[in-house]
Chains A and B, each alone.
Chain A
Amino acid sequence: MKILDVLPKEAILADLKAVDKKGVLEELVSPVADISGVNHEDLVKVLMERERLGSTGIGEGIGIPHGKVKDLDSLILGFGLSRKGVDFDSMDGRPAHIFFLLMTPENSTGLHLKLLARISRILKNDPFKDKLLRATNRDEIYSIIKEEEEEEF
């Protein structure tokens, strides 16, 4: 499965405003809630609960918040860029700038794990990361991800 198969363009946010974990989750969730029709606050709560068990801030400026949601029909991604950086309780203690949001239905059978692994893998690619960090708008981010995925397959 490609990332762009499940990442709607509208769920890409090129300039996150919040600087705190909860604030940034609120922002990231907004378009995903609209598209999926799942209650905004329910999504935030699921993500916050997951963060409490251990941060999804994996260091190197990256956060991959994720969770399982009861009323969700199919897996959906969101993306966000923060210029200022967010205090995401990351393992390396540094602020996070690149966010992939991953929401999966409760009965998902392993697909979400594959996608999570794939996302964390492509983010290890520094040139790709740098391009993302320099992107200024939604379209640009979309094409950077597209380009990266085409190269891989």
Chain B
Amino acid sequence: MKVIIVGAGEVGFHIASHLARENKNVVVIDKDPAAIRRVSDNIDVQVVIGSGSSPVILKEAGIKEAEILVAVTDSDDTNLGACMVSDLISPATKKLCRIRYADYDEYHEAFREHAPHIDTIINPEIEVVKKIFRLMSVPGAVEVGDFADGRLVFIGIYIDESAKLSGVRLSDIYAKTGKQSPLIAAVVRDEELIIPRGKHRLKAGDLIYFISEKEKLIESLSLFDKNVEPIGRVMIVGGGSIGFRLASLLEENSISTKIIEKNPDRCAELAEKLNKAVVLHGDGSDQELLREENIQDMDVVVTLTNDEETNILTSLLAKRMGASKIITKVSKFSYIPLISMIGLEQVVSPRLSAINTILQHIRVGKVLAAKSIIDEQAEVMEAVALETSDIVGKPIREISIPKGALVTGIMRQDTIIIPTGESVIEPNDRIIIFAKKQAIPEVEKILAVKLEFF
């Protein structure tokens, strides 16, 4: 599969290295020679120096042969330009385009329907705001993903020291609590990813990933001693575009919100645009200010400034001052693994969200969503089980499901099925699969249709 990536920034670089690892044929275009050098020094891909919206450059990169164009420069205009040109030269190439500017929000659908016929708009800001909102609703969750139209949720949480299930075997959960445990797909212990069996004993400090029906989520969480409490008060540090989007969403949900923003002009702008949220002028890492604003009484503190280090420090400060729940925005990929080490569990990364959008398009099969989790060690996919593929027509235990992969949910029309070995997947069922990175090529094989599929 040939993929052209326009923009060698953090997202472009990361997508390129992800795809190169999967042996895709990748060409990266950027006009900045230094950015291109960083790509060619580190990843085995082709590079072209020049503007990604130039027809000459796109042709040189081989746009006619490319299955997918991913336009992810920092400039929306360049991204749109690249899609426009490639729509003219090679209409059958799929176009994935990053558009951040909020003024375009209303036109996303039009960009799909009309030229440049963008197949998927990547808006990391919208994705991140959605993710923050989902994380807020699940206490202590490091991961909250919606699948099957939001009817199934995929959750990652830590087992606390005091949790009643700490030290309990998975197969004994029912005996111990009288409640059915949700399907636990993975456990991360000492940075190692395990697909647990019944005899697996949970331990404090384990990071577990489970799938639950949305309706049963509160019950499932209580099993792990996580009690869902309504969110009443939120403090946002950093009033940039993500901060503003989040504040608007919180206003819609009648959650009382305070925003701290350093820049006085931006404060005035925010105060004008927002109706109920309180806009405070100041530095989020100022302890005095945080104390005055009663940070310890906040249900959630979200740090969203454009400065990574400020976010991390402010979050640590907020934690020390007693804020119960903290969500930190981190963009630099290299920081993400460090964050949990210093005790900040909930992290969002706009760039990581951008990558998840792209994954869906490179997977074989009718994949509706794919989400990279656990520092890219695994993926959760939602796909349609197709006629003639190996996954349909016989009990799951008879299918050679690759080692390291697990079918965690089935949606048949309106029914949700949590599968056992006896379950039979039917054509057109939607299935949720959890897979370790190494198992993904094999998962793609069992999802793929046979030759006679038309």
Contact = CB atoms under 8 A, between A and B. Distances in A.
Interface in A45-77: 45, 48, 50, 52-56, 58, 64, 66-68
A108 B389 CA distance: 22
Given A53-B386, A54-B448, A68-B454, A21 B1 contact: yes
Interface stretch (B39-47, B58-66, B127-135): B58-66
Interface stretch (A2-10, A111-119, A128-136): A111-119
A120 interface: yes
B25 interface: yes
B392 to A, nearest CB: 13
Nearest to B92: A44
A105 B71 CA distance: 35
B340 to A, nearest CB: 35
Which of B94, B450, B451, B453 has most chain A Cβ within 10 Å?
Answer: B451
A87 B25 contact: yes
Nearest to B362: A52
B365 interface: yes
Contacts, number: 72
Nearest to A48: B92
Given A53-B453, A55-B448, A22 B92 contact: yes
A68 B453 CA distance: 10
Contacts of B386: 53
Contact of A54 (B1, B64, B450): B450
B366 interface: yes
B381 to A, nearest CB: 14
Interface string A107-151: 000001100110010000000000000000000000000000000
B67 A21 contact: yes
B258 to A, nearest CB: 47
A52 B2 contact: no
B452 A116 contact: yes
A18 interface: yes
B454 A112 contact: yes
A110 B16 CA distance: 42
Interface string B359-395: 0000011100000000000000000001001000000
Given A53-B386, A54-B449, A23 B65 contact: yes
B91 interface: yes
Given A54-B364, A116-B452, A20 B91 contact: no
A104 interface: yes
B365 A54 contact: yes
Nearest to A25: B92
B93 A22 contact: yes
Interface in B5-50: 25
Interface of B: 1-2, 25, 62, 64-67, 91-94, 364-366, 386, 389, 447-454
Interface of A: 18-23, 26, 41, 44-45, 48, 50, 52-56, 58, 64, 66-68, 87, 89, 104, 112-113, 116-117, 120
Given A22-B66, A26-B92, A89-B1, 4 more contacts: A22-B67, A50-B453, A55-B364, A116-B452
